[in-house]
Amino acid sequence: MTWLTDAVVGAGSPGSRLQIMGVVNVTPDSFSDGGRYLDVDDAIAHGFEMVADGADIVDIGGESTRPGAARVATTQELARVIPVIEALSAAGVRVSIDTMNADTARAAVAAGAAILNDVSGGLADERMAGVAAESGLPYIVSHWRGHSDKMSSRAQYTDAAHDVAGEVGARVDALLAQGVLPSQIVVDPGLGFSKNADHNWRILARLHELEALGFPVLVGASRKRFLGALLPEDAPMESRDLPTAVVSVLAAQAGAWGVRVHDVASTRLALDTLAAWQGGSDD
Ligand code: PMM
């Protein structure tokens, strides 16, 4: 993590502190919060709430990536995310744009987005590398094998932790060849994207293999189905926030750079508990 630039870490944040990225899906159909923040004012208010709860970054998305979700037209994606990005970034909030669409990414940067978050790692839209290179902003590159309609059938690995690290490494090399700088890159295992529960746990247990690529690692486990599998079948979505917060602590312990979560308060408290535990060994 020694090479981390201010651009990635954020001014004033010590490099060792896990970054909390709060999620605002301005969509009708995201699996965890779909429909709750479709109204622009609700989405903006939720972004501010997350900052008050301790988010370092607010991640704004206008296209659901849940299995089987339909693609969204660029005009619709822009109408959902741009007003939210403008309002939050004008107030000084560090905003990331969660999109696979280079046109949306470019418009989001113009509206004040400070981080590009592309779950396809540049595979869905080959122009994304150009937008990332031009902007010079941190670029989150996730492991991805195909759109929602294809992702389940592509969940085949010899060894998920090893294969994912290898495929992300190859993607990063391709992006660097297209002018993206190493200092911009953050990598993400893309939990749940062409991965079943066993794959996700294997990747998390061996996060060091992804970290060995030499880039900051973001973990997006929040409320995903593999955490739901630890709970009774009829448990409400919010009950997944406890296992999510535990994953946040374990990700911090494993050397991750950040976590992407829906409930910022529980992850903040869990990380404060970890910090207090660690503080107990200070003289
Ligand atoms: N997961 C989702 C959406 N965006 N971005 C990153 N970097 N990593 C993820 O794991 C990730 C993501 C899907 O979850 P959601 O529908 O709750 O946002």
Ligand 1 pocket test, candidate residues 33, 36, 248, 260, most atoms within 8 A of CB: 260
Distance CA 47, CA 280 (A): 33
Torsion of CA 248, 249, 250, 255, to 10 degrees: 90
* Per-residue pLDDT tens over the stretch 40-50: 999 999 999 99
Centre of ligand 1 to C-alpha 95, Å, is: 15
Name the pairing type of β-strands 258-261 and 115-118: unpaired
**Least confident among 51-55, 93-97, 147-151, 266-270:** 147-151
| C-beta separation of 162 from 193 below 8 A | no
Write phi, then psi, for 269 (nearest 5 degrees).
-65, -40
**Alpha carbon of 119 to ligand 1 centroid (Å):** 7
CA of 108 to the centre of ligand 1 (A): 17
Give pLDDT, residue 68.
Answer: 74
What tens digit of pLDDT does each residue of 150-163 get? Answer: 888 899 999 999 99
Whole-angstrom Cα distance, residue 262 to residue 280? 29
**Which tens digits make up the pLDDT trace of 4-43?**
444 444 433 333 589 999 999 998 877 777 777 778 999 9
Q: Which atom of ligand 1 is nearest to the CA of 191?
A: 10
Atom number of ligand 1 nearest to Cα 32: 17
Residue matched to tokens 């744009």: 97
Q: Which residues are known catalytic residues?
A: 224, 260
Residues 6+ apart with CB under 8 A from 198: 160
**Residues 249-277: tens digit of each pLDDT:** 999 999 999 999 999 999 999 999 999 99
Q: What is the pLDDT of residue 153?
A: 87
- For residue 247, give the nearest of 283, 278, 203, 181 by alpha carbon: 203
Per-residue pLDDT tens digits for 174-212: 999 999 999 999 999 999 999 999 999 999 999 999 999
Listed in sequence order, the residues at least 6 apart from 208 whose beta carbon sits closer than 8 Å to its beta carbon are 254, 255
Q: What is residue 275's three-state secondary structure? A: helix
What residues line ligand 1, using a CB cutoff of 6 Å? 23, 25, 30-32, 61, 65-66, 98, 117, 119, 140, 142, 188, 190-191, 218, 220, 260
